[in-house]
Amino acid sequence: MTSRISALTPPGYFVDEQVRGPFKRWHHAHHFEPDKQGGTLMRDVVDFAAPLGLLGAVAERAALNWYMPRLINIRNNHVKKIAETTR
């Protein structure tokens, strides 16, 4: 997937959107805010649509709506691990 940053408000917000790739639509907003304990809370809002019309809509309901939140969570856990690693 090729995406572009379509909105940016440092340090608390940016959006990446698909330019080319597997989805009919992909809009991924990243929100960051202090957690009042010296860390950062990160929240993702993903809006996507599968291609292929009715077949894509079935795929969304059958698999993607279940799979995508888990994929984002795995990615976020990886980002957290890297960010918290002292080098």
Written as one string, the DSSP assignment of 39-59 is SEEEEEEEEEE-SSHHHHHHH
What DSSP state is assigned to residue 24? S
**Cβ neighbours for 35, distance < 8 A, ≥ 6 positions apart:** 41
Q: Does the pTM of the predicted model rise above 0.85? A: no
Q: Helix, strand or coil for residue 71?
A: helix
Average pLDDT over residues 6-27: 96
- pLDDT tens-place string over residues 31-70: 999 999 988 999 999 999 999 989 888 888 889 889 999 9
pLDDT at 44: 96
Cβ 60 vs Cβ 50: under 8 Å: yes
